[in-house]
């Protein structure tokens, strides 16, 4: 029909291996969008501040052991507990730049050998991003950058399997950026695609849900 769709903020997700540069690109992008007059917030998953987030954080630090499926469901629950806030922020016009989302959930858990469809199931009904940016780097190059904090997943062999999982999840809608380019070049590409996405959502775009 010709029902008018309200203006809203954009849900923009950055994904990639550990040490791909996501976190600093997220904050650069937030500053840029703010400076250009947009209302924007920086989010990340896992959100370690909630009760569930604290359990995840302790697991990642190797301070607790959890069954692979149990931790997968906690990561998912951590997104579900933020879902309604996410939707209300977007409806009120706030753009969210999100460091990791469901794709990390599926990529990291399926890298352990869990079935991809099983991993996707608890994510069904979460908001679908308006844009997924993948900062593309080989596991070897990412490891060479050093600075792994010693968390559970920060090992070359595991990151190789995560890279393969991301590869099977990635589709034509994802924007791939070569994460080995100079920081400023990555930033430039990211600004451009993000701005297009923000403007599309400002004009009015219906929400959709995972999985697309
Ligand atoms: N991770 C992150 C998962 O395994 N599943 C998830 O759903 C999410 C969001 O947690 F190794 C992994 C990815 C990473 C670790 O992430 C912590 P940050 O970005 O380093 O905080």
What digits encode the pLDDT tens for the residues 145-154?
988 888 999 9
State the distance from the centre of ligand 1 to the C-alpha of 192, rounded, in angstroms: 26
The answer to whether 55 touches 81, Cβ cutoff 8 Å, is: no
- Ligand 1 atom closest to 45 (CA): 9
* Core vs surface per residue 20-40: b (16+ CB within 10 A) or e: bbbeebbebbbebbeeeebeb
Choice among 125-134, 141-150, 156-165, 184-193 with the minimum mean pLDDT: 141-150
179 pLDDT above the threshold of 70: yes
Q: How confident is the model at residue 2 (pLDDT cuts 50, 70, 90)?
A: low
CB within 6 Å of ligand 1 — which residues? 18, 45-46, 60, 75, 99-100, 104-105, 108, 153
- Ligand 1 atom closest to 46 (CA): 9
Unique residue bearing structure tokens 């990340």: 44
80 pLDDT above the threshold of 80: yes
State the distance from the centre of ligand 1 to the C-alpha of 46, rounded, in angstroms: 6
Select from 118, 195, 198, 104 the least CA-distant residue to 153: 104
pLDDT tens-digit map of 153-171:
999 999 999 999 999 999 9
Residues 6+ apart with CB under 8 A from 1: none
State the distance from the centre of ligand 1 to the C-alpha of 25, rounded, in angstroms: 17
Residue percentage of the chain with pLDDT more than 90: 95
State the distance from the centre of ligand 1 to the C-alpha of 45, rounded, in angstroms: 7
Unique residue bearing structure tokens 């993948």: 134
Sheet of strand 131-136: strand arrangement: 40-44, 95-99, 11-16, 131-136, 175-178
Beta-carbon count within 10 A of 52 CB: 21
- Could you tell me which residues are beta bridge partners of residue 42? 97
pLDDT tens-digit map of 34-48:
999 999 999 999 999
1 pLDDT above the threshold of 70: no
């Amino acid at each position: 029909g010709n029902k008018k769709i309200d203006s809203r903020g954009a849900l923009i997700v950055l994904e990639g291996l550990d040490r791909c540069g996501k976190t600093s690109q997220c904050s650069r992008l937030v500053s840029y969008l703010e400076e250009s007059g947009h209302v924007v917030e920086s989010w990340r998953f896992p959100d370690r501040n909630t009760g569930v987030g604290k359990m995840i954080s302790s697991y990642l630090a190797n301070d607790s052991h959890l069954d692979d499926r149990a931790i997968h469901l906690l990561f998912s629950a951590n997104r579900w507990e933020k879902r309604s806030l996410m939707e209300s922020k977007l409806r009120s016009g706030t753009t969210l730049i999100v460091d990791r989302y469901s794709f990390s959930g599926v990529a990291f858990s399926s890298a352990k050998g869990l079935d991809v469809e099983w991993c996707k199931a608890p994510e069904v009904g979460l908001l679908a991003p308006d844009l997924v940016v993948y900062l593309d780097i080989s596991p070897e190059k990412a490891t060479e950058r050093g600075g792994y904090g010693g968390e559970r997943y920060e090992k070359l062999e595991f990151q190789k399997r995560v890279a393969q999982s991301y590869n099977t999840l990635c589709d034509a809608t994802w924007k791939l950026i070569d994460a080995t380019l100079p920081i400023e070049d990555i930033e430039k590409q990211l600004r451009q695609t993000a701005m297009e996405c923000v403007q599309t959502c400002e004009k009015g775009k219906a929400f959709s849900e995972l999985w697309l």
